[in-house]
Structure 1
Amino acid sequence: MADQLGTLLRTLRKQAGLTQEQVAERSKLGVRTIRRLETGTSTDHRLGTVNQIADALGAGPEERLRLAAALAKTSPEPVSEPEPEPHPEPEPVSASASGAASPSRRIPGALARAAEELANEITRRWQIEEEQRRVHDPFPLPVRWQDAPEVLTDRPENVRRLPPGATAGPIDLNGDLHSVADVYRRIPSGRLVVLGRAGSGKSILTIRFVLDLLATPAPAAAEAGHPIPVIFSLGSWDPTTTALHDWLIGLLLRDHPHLVERVPGGSTLAAALVDANLVLPVLDGFDEIAEGLRPDALEALNSTSIPLVLTSRREEFDKVVRKAGTPLVWAAGVELVDLTPGDLTDYLPRTSRPVNFRGSSRTSGREERYANVWDVVLEALRTQDTPAGRNLARVLSTPLMVILARTIYSEASDIDPADLLDTTRFPTEHSLEEHLLASFVPTVYRRRAPVRSTGGHPRRQPDRDPEQVHRWLGYLAHHLARLNDLDRQDLAWWRIGDSLRPSTRVIAVALTCTLSITVAEWCVGLFVHYLGGGIAAAFGKVLVDGALMGPIAGLAFGCVYGLMQRFGTTAFKPARVQLRLRLRLPGTDIRTHVGRGPMRTFTSRFVAGLLGGFVMGAGCACATTLERVLYNQIPLTSGAVIEGTLINVLGYGLIFGSAAGLAYGLLAVLEAPLDIASSATPAGLLSANRATVSRQVLVLVPAVTLAIALGGLLFVALMQNIVGPLSWKLLDGFFIGAVGGLGGAFSYALAFTAWGQWVILTRVWLPLTGKLPWDTVAFLDDAYRRGVLRRTGAVYQFRHSRLQHHLGDSFRRLHTDHEPATFRSRARTGARTGARTGSS
């Protein structure tokens, strides 16, 4: 099988006209590595190495597929069905990944199954998201486009991937929201740029594009090798530190943790899917990348040939292209156009209920007449014979502003959309947009009647004060703007605590560890003395021991956390594994279940546990010294005290460190990837991590306890003749081990895991300071259901960047510059009343 891989590599190299030395230089590999792979003498077949060679050779999708299949056959335990005979090599003029311009291809069974699961999950998620955004209620707003300016797109010959000397006219890109997938399939290069101004419907278009492209049944599409479109928010990408390839894999693992499963060759399923061109990146929000990084991002995209879809605001993309002197290579482009008043003529009336105007006299016998609340506004938009009508027509030319206006005015019974024509309150387009943005949150958080559940019981959305909600959402928006690693859109529950100052986080961790160790000391001490019948006499001593042990250990853990924070290693991410007992079945390899090989994982875990445990042991030794000084009245500066303390620091440090390292490494044996549906939502990932941490504690407590008790005996036996007489009674060892097991496990769980950081910082500290509500999970989920937030895999995002920026700016201003929005009731008898609902 190795000969097949070597023969294929050698054939591709000769077709590229390169020597082994040139391939080695391009791929940054050694010549010996290239030679061993081509001759079949290499025993270390890694997918990453083969991908480096494929990049150096300029291999296309079909060649990469054949390389992946040949590589899979070199594994002693292949995970896929036998690969059929390779297809003839495709013509170089068409490398589209859309599946329309390239011949069907079969892919290995393991990747086909992973692609099928990914397609099904993405379809389900975006169908829910589309329903949540009410895109089809009452019908989708028309999203149309025109060809993008030629300066922002590549030449038609390049887009068509034609050979030298060929000429071609522009590609027909005419279409609308319902045909966006068909339009994309007309592009041979598989590269499309979608431009538009803020709120023009780019996000709606990308969702519809993904769903339409996935309309092919998942199994058939996966087996044929059609790529799976996946939306990636570009705002979190730093092209100067992270390659596009690695960034795509990282986000796939974040939103689909089950793809961490390993395949033969050493890579994850996520990496294998990307490497095999089975993922079509839909890169949303090029304009959300930091301005100084946009040229680097365009250069990085141009250094690849993968099919992709890129969305951006027109102005920002135009500026980068002109600065770089090149568009996105091989890319066609469209630009979304504004809505017209005619588009709103049918849409807005159907979003509201007819209002019943009755005569002033109930006995007049006049017939009831009905008029739609939008009639006055639609007439002003149609004629545009007043400044107010012209301003409003320009504002309501984007789907975002139409949706905001519809939410504020169509779904309430006591406010009149004709207020939007008041030039005294809204003299400019900007004032109208700010009014709609500021009024959105108060409107969706107005009191609503309870909805009956399936069981017949009323189910009410929690009533929240709109001013408090505005402050909480403003804090979250402000937090996103302050992130240093460019996650300006992704509101991840495990990152909310990063909004606190570093010193505050260190204090919180120190206090948490102090409490964990103190309570563990008290509980174990009182339990032991209760069994011995002397709890009353020992009560005071137990309290003092805990009061001494806890703060010293907490201070030690706080120092470790502070050092980790100083070197940037405290960005704890949620675990992508679950703990469960499982037997190794015949024909399976445990390496396919976890992130890395068991020995590498155990080694890294052991080192981390050794360092953490040593710190805890040193703290325990210092507390023991203080206890003896306090009870025995021995001077702290005594030579014997100092010598004994140093020996105890070494002994307790090694005992606790080795115990923690062994126990923490043991967790690797019990880890398995998360199921595909376990992290479909942020709340799902949070729940999965809570369960994982809980199981980790259940494993760590007895493991650390036993390891400390027996490790102490081993240390005394080995060091007795080196450092002098030592004492370690087995019962005392179990007492110390129980304290270390309980206190250490809970300290680790609360201070050094993503879920623990969420608990102590987001669920306790931030609510105590009034920056977030106590029921943060319910609050975020409620904001999603009300349409303020949207879900993108494992994270939330604000519904639109304009809304996010508005809320963040409002929070930073402290006192708004705008007056509260006031709405006048719809005229029923000619009278109008004011109703204050929020800030504008």
Structure 2
Amino acid sequence: MAETLGALVRRLRKQAGMTQFQLAERAGLGERTIGRIENDKPFDHRSGTFARLADALEAGPEDRRRLMAASIGSGDEPPPVPAQQAAPAGARVPGPLADEADGLARESKRRWREEEAQRRVHHPYALPVRWHHVATGLADRTENAQGTAPGDVLPDIDLSGDLRRVAGVYRRIGSGRLVVLGRAGSGKSILAVRFALDLLDTREDAQRVPVIFSLGSWDPTAIALRDWLVDRLVRDHPHLARVLPSGKPLAADLFDADLILPVLDGFDEIAEELRGEALQELNRTVLPLVLTSRRDEFAGAVAAARAPLASAVVIELCDLEPSDLRDYLPRTVPVPPGPLDPAAPRGWNDVLDRARAAGPAGAHLTEALSTPLMTALARTMYSDNPDRDPAELLDTARFPDAAAIEAHLLAGFVPTVYRRRAPQRPDAGGPAAARRGTERQWELADAQRWLGYIAHHLAALDGERQDIAWWELGTSMSRLARTVIVGLLAGTAFGVTAGVGNIPVDLVATSHGPAFALLRGLAVGVLHGLAAAVLFGLVYWYATARDGLKPSPVRIRFTGWGRRGGRLRRTGRRVRVRVAVGLLCGLSVAAALELIDQGLVGPLGLDDGQGGGALARVVFIAELGLGAGLVFALTAVLEAPVRPESVVSPADLLGIDRRNVAYHLLVWALAIGPAAGLLNGIVDGPVRGLEVGVVFGLEAAFGAGLGYGVCMTAWGQWVALTRIWLPLTGRLPWALVSFLDDAHRRGVLRQVGAVYQFRHSRIQSQLGHAFREHHGKRRPSRPDTAPAVAPGA
């Protein structure tokens, strides 16, 4: 008897050493589907299913032939089912799971309708965003994208269309994998939203639910795509975290049952060094998906991975045509009540008529309005404001080229995206709405001021700077101002630690009483803090002028010493410099503290008799100097620079540097505490040595360690300048991380690895210009190469 399809698949799976779940994941099918195939039960499938199984099983030519023959022998294959319908109604999807998918579909539809309404892309109708098919270079073979078997006739598929028919075009793609490329403002995110809504509007029971994921936070080297998608789904829809009897969260079961269609928006926002690996990870699965990206970034990933996105059709968005503008913009103007005023501006009809015959002025206008973003801004600035006449856009004196018109329109971008909306009730739209209901609503004036400061900061650092790096947000201040702020904060940490640390010592080791202990603690804290502020400030002043010491993101690494002579040789010079700085700092601080205790605290009548004699003072200076030198050397050896483009997100890099400070505290405690305890134990006995070791270890960690963290690490510079000083002076918000993340969601910023960038360079230029005008600041001395803002923008 011939081997059945189920028996053949089961045998090949066991030969490959895979479980049903592993095979399902590799083939992009549901685990339940694999079970039904292996048990020769009826199941719904589409063209290419058996080719995907053969690929996942790594079947040889003979086994592949048998698999195809068995699939034919199992019965006539049903007509191809569109990719987004890969989970049709029937036995393959349990009822409760289908119900959960239906609930997710309703919630997603409500959410994306709200998003589309906010962007007003539907008013008065969807812009005709068109595309052309990218057949070679960035796309896989057409036969792979359509899932045709060897020898089959390749169907002639029409992939033309526009925003209003994107779902229909997607249904013609056999693999269910689509890449959408386009330049900034070309409508990629709008297309993703419209695509999701079109599928949701026509979705039938148990079909896939399109879910939009912002791809910028995915680290393909740390987490598999499926696991990351499950985590994102749980984050955005907390009720899907419920654990089922299978032991998996409900979100994972929805994926495994082929009930989720990922719409991956913003591939270009993945860290640059991770894009090639991300594309390779996407190619390890045949999961149907939609991916959006800027063209150059996607092309770079294809080059790095040496392969396009497997089985995917690639389309690239085209510019809007002048006829599109003539159809669209006049209809965005509301009809005023009553008789028309003959003297009133004739609006877009007149402007676009004149543009056709206006020579360069008309060409500049149509070029500027060639993207949905600019057209939407023109509508907001002129159609929504009857007192403004779009005819001014044809004034070549004000707007000599298309870039000047775009800069003028971009001036209205921030007011548009920060338009205030009525808050939602938490119960208005399920768990996702409840989460969004807690988000801040920023005032427009505040958002413009804070974004303006950031844009000015970038221009002050470098006229061509684009990266908004959190550890540098305060560095456009003068070096002296930064030194004073960092020194005072470091000195405060040191002084509080020294003062608080003296109180229990005086309470336990002396008989002077609580009042004396408190008074001495206050005096020691203030005086030691002032001395430390001066010394830490000098260290920061010195460090910021030298690349090897300048505060910047690093990782603490305890491995990797053996490769090519080890990191010790590579960091030898840095270690020597840091040892010298550490010794000098330690000896200076110790000597200064001894002078303060002997010359100021003692004469105030606050000498507690714990300082010992001349030998003890020499030992104290020596142990602190040697300990500081050792700490600086260890940090130089253990720290490895981090390339921001290799990190997933700003929050991840901030977390890395915050943990580094905790390591620094531990290093300070272990370098100073045991050494001090050992030396004092030799001189005064083991009990005294233990007491001194514990006290010195704690004070070194929270006094010297925190002071070092403030003046020598990126996290400390961030805290001192960006989290404390700049919010105090109103130049940045207190909740800066939340503000930047919100600006990213609104489309003002884009994320590239561990940094943000303004999504449009001319927005950056306009905001910086407005900030300088309002605050009376001069233009940065280094040339700002971004296009100038048009007068009156």
Shorter-chain TM-score range: 0.5 to 0.7
Q: CA deviation at 1:405?
A: 2.0
Q: Deviations over 1:83-125 (max 9, x none)?
A: x999869632478995414557878999999999987887676
| 2:353 paired residue among 366, 369, 379 | 379
**What corresponds to 1:307 in structure 2?**
288
In 1, are the aligned partners of 2:179 and 2:292 still within 8 Å (CA)?
A: yes
Give the residue type in structure 2 aligned to 1:532. A
2-side partners of 1:373 and 1:463: how far apart? 29
Q: Helix, strand or coil: the match of 1:821?
A: coil
Over 3 Å counting, the alpha-carbon distance change for 1:508 and 1:115 in structure 2 is farther
Summarize the Cα distance change of 1:470–1:639 in structure 2 as closer, same or farther, 3 Å threshold.
Answer: closer
Q: Report the Cα offset of residue 331 of structure 1.
A: 1.2
Number of the residue aligned with 2:566: none
Q: 1:153 aligns with which of 139, 150, 153?
A: 139
Secondary structure (helix, strand or coil) at the match of 2:724 reads helix
With over 3 angstroms needed to count, the CA separation of the structure-2 counterparts of 1:736 and 1:232, relative to structure 1, is same
> 1:363 is matched with which residue?
none
Aligned-partner Cα distance in 2 for 1:760–1:798: 23
State whether structure 2 residue 213 is matched by structure 1 residue 230. Answer: yes
Gaps in structure 1 of 5+ consecutive residues:
1-9, 21-36, 39-49, 70-83, 359-365, 572-616, 653-681, 698-703, 823-836
User: Following TM superposition, by how much is the alpha carbon of 1:59 offset from its aligned partner in structure 2, in angstroms?
Assistant: 3.0
Query: In the alignment, which residue of structure 2 is the partner of 1:130?
Result: 116
Structure 2: any 5+ residue segments left out of the alignment? 1-6, 54-80, 425-440, 558-585, 629-649, 770-778
CA contact (8 A) 1:191 1:331 kept: yes
Which of 224, 236, 241 in structure 2 is aligned with 1:245? 224
Alignment of 1:90-489 (within 5 A): 91-93=49-51, 98-101=83-86, 126-149=112-135, 152-213=138-199, 228-233=211-216, 242=221, 245=224, 249=228, 256=235, 280-285=261-266, 301-302=282-283, 304-313=285-294, 327-345=308-326, 347-353=328-334, 372-381=346-355, 383-384=356-357, 386-412=359-385, 414-437=387-410, 439-440=411-412, 461=443, 463=445, 470=452, 472-475=454-457
In structure 1, what residue type is equivalent to 2:350? V
Q: Per-residue deviation at 1:395?
A: 2.9
- Overall identity of the aligned pairs, in %: 36
Quickly say closer, same or farther: Cα 1:160–1:267, change in 2 above 3 A.
same
Name which of 789, 795, 801 aligns with 2:748: 789
Match for 1:516 among 468, 493, 496? 493
Alpha-carbon distance in structure 2 between the residues aligned to 1:775 and 1:419:
40
Match of 2:140, SS state, is coil
Q: Superposition pairs for residues 775-814 of structure 1, below 5 Å?
A: 777=736, 780=739, 784=743, 789=748, 800-801=759-760, 803=762, 814=783
Inter-CA distance 180–817: structure 2 relative to 1 (3 Å threshold):
closer
Which amino acid in the other structure matches residue 26 of structure 2? Answer: A
What secondary structure sits across from 1:309 in the alignment? strand
Is the 2:403–2:787 contact (alpha carbons within 8 Å) kept by the matching residues of 1? no
Change beyond 3 A, Cα 1:443–1:300? closer
Which of 259-268 and 419-428 deviates more? Answer: 259-268
State the alpha-carbon separation in 2 of the partners of residues 720 and 554 from structure 1. 30
Superposed counterparts of 1:486-565, under 5 Å? 511-519=488-496, 521-522=498-499, 531-532=514-515, 540=523, 543-547=526-530
Tell me the alpha carbon deviations over residues 378-428 of structure 1, each in whole angstroms, 9 at most, x when there is no partner: 3235x5564433442333232122123223333445542112223444454
Deviation at 1:285, TM superposition (A): 4.8
TM-superposed deviation, 1:742? 8.5
Partner of 1:60: 27
Residues 525-569 of structure 1: CA distance to partner in whole angstroms, max 9, x if unpaired? 789899537867886455435546777899999999999967822
Superposed displacement of residue 131, structure 1 = 3.8
> In structure 1, which of residues 708, 725, 729 is the aligned counterpart of residue 685 of structure 2?
725
TM-score, scaled relative to structure 1: 0.55
How far, CA to CA, are the matches of 1:404 and 1:390 in structure 2? 18
The amino acid that maps onto 1:100 is Q
CA distance in 1: counterparts of 2:705 and 2:232, whole angstroms: 27
Give, as a single letter, the amino acid of the residue that structure 2 aligns with 1:436.
L
Find out whether 1:760 has 2:720 as its counterpart: yes
Contact persistence 1:97–1:307 (CA under 8 A): no
Q: Does the CA-based 8 Å contact 1:214-1:228 persist in structure 2?
A: no
Answer whether contact 2:326 2:349 (CA < 8 A) is retained: no
Work out whether residues 508 and 760 of structure 1, in 8 Å CA contact, stay in contact via their aligned partners in 2.
yes
Structure 1 segment 645-660 matched on structure 2, within 5 A: none
Cα distance change, pair 719–796 in 1 and its aligned pair in 2 (3 A): closer
Q: Return the alpha-carbon distance in structure 2 between the equivalents of residues 461 and 215 of structure 1.
A: 35
- The separation in 1 between residues aligned to 2:41 and 2:541, in whole angstroms, is 59
The CA deviation string for residues 162-219 of structure 1, in whole angstroms up to 9 with x for no partner, is 222112213343544344334324323121122334432112101222444456999x
Residue 583 of structure 1 is matched in structure 2 by none
Q: In structure 2, how many angstroms separate the alpha carbons of the residues matched to 1:110 and 1:751? A: 57
Residue in structure 2 matched with residue 3 of structure 1 by the alignment = none
8 A contact 2:166–2:195 mirrored in 1: yes
Alpha-carbon offset, residue 644 of structure 1: 6.2
Letter in 2 for 1:376: D
How much has 1:271 moved relative to structure 2? 9.2
CA 1:205 to 1:774, structure 2 compared with 1: closer, same or farther past 3 Å? closer
- Which of 767, 790, 793 is the matching residue for 1:821? 790
Q: Give the match for residue 15 of structure 1.
A: 12
Distance 2:551 2:96 in 1: 40
Q: What is the TM-score when the length of structure 2 is the normalising length?
A: 0.58
Say whether the 8 Å CA contact 1:287–1:312 is kept in structure 2. Answer: yes
Q: Distance in 2 between matches of 1:372 and 1:113?
A: 53
